[in-house]
Amino acid sequence: MSDIEKVKCLIIGSGPAGYTAAIYAARANMKPVLYQGLQPGGQLTTTNDVENFPGYPDGITGPEMMIQLMNQAKRFDTDVRDGWVSKVDFSGPVHKVWVDEKKEIHADTIIISTGASARYLGLPSEQKYLALGGGVSACAVCDGFFYREQEVVIVGAGDSACEEAGYLANICKKVTMLVRKNEFRASVIMEERVKSIENIEIKFNTEIDEVLGDGAVVTGVRTINNKTKETEEIAATGVFIAIGHIPNTQIFKDYLELDATGYIINQPGSSKTNVEGVFVSGDAADHVYRQAITAAGTGCMAALDAERYLAAKGH
């Protein structure tokens, strides 16, 4: 038993939700321990420019913002650690967590901020320009602004793809929407809305064969019609992938209530899960907004809920 570490507040995951939770928890003297996970800083580390987070009039890069948030959390003595949580056991009164498959931690409270990962097509050319920050994105609301009055491509057929296509159509000169099958997956109302927008062109049975570029930025896509096998090149400066997100919640599925797609279900108006003392923040529970600012807000909520839980228990 001597090698088991006991902590008051364990935060699983970094990003805006995790670091904000850490700032609030540390200031409340909860001595938080934060494990950064497999992607320290979360999804924002893949975003070159963040222009919509309040307080940054000149914008900031995603990685730079995450370093600032981490340093702010550390300033209040958050114990920020490398490592990923590989297993949990929430079956008893003690919340047990294993880090890197070996270290065991028992926590009075746990704040989950493991986020979600955008689904991508997996094409080498797509991943290349995603890494370069040169025209591939999975968030129209985050990055659409950079493509105003330009021509863009969006891939997807669900409600969120339709919503993002409509958002882009307000900003961009033209939006070409690529739908893999011969029909939408979206609700009828969303489908009708997209079809009624003049500067959206929809191509059915169409997939991206390759993202084209000049080595630094995207210049277009080569598509293939999966019925006729015909290929076509479409000029575009931006490619938006809207085929969904995967919440990073698999390790919690035996203990926490998840929805059909794997998002953690929180009690309405709070960060509480179905397990007492376990709280959730950020994109692990949010499939609607998925913004840095909303993630940060729920990180604050989770820390306040955890603090009240500990106070009620007399800790």
State how far the Cα of 193 lies from the Cα of 231, in Å rounded to an integer.
28
State how far the Cα of 198 lies from the Cα of 206, in Å rounded to an integer.
20
Residue in 142, 283, 286, 305 annotated catalytic: 142
Per the CB < 8 A criterion, the answer to whether 279 and 299 are in contact is no
Partnered with residue 211 across adjacent β-strands are 221
Question: Does residue 142 carry a catalytic annotation?
Answer: yes
3-state helix, strand, coil in the chain (%, to 5): 30, 30, 40
Residue in 108, 143, 286, 305 annotated catalytic: 143
Question: Does residue 139 carry a catalytic annotation?
Answer: yes
Question: Does residue 143 carry a catalytic annotation?
Answer: yes
Helices (H) then strands (E): counts for the chain: 7, 17
Partnered with residue 88 across adjacent β-strands are 97
CA-nearest of 270, 257, 267 to 304 is 270
Residue 257: phi, psi to the nearest 5? -75, 125
State how far the Cα of 234 lies from the Cα of 71, in Å rounded to an integer.
44
Tokens of 111: 């704040």
State how far the Cα of 280 lies from the Cα of 282, in Å rounded to an integer.
7
State how far the Cα of 137 lies from the Cα of 267, in Å rounded to an integer.
31
SS3 call for 164: helix
Catalytic residues: 139, 142-143
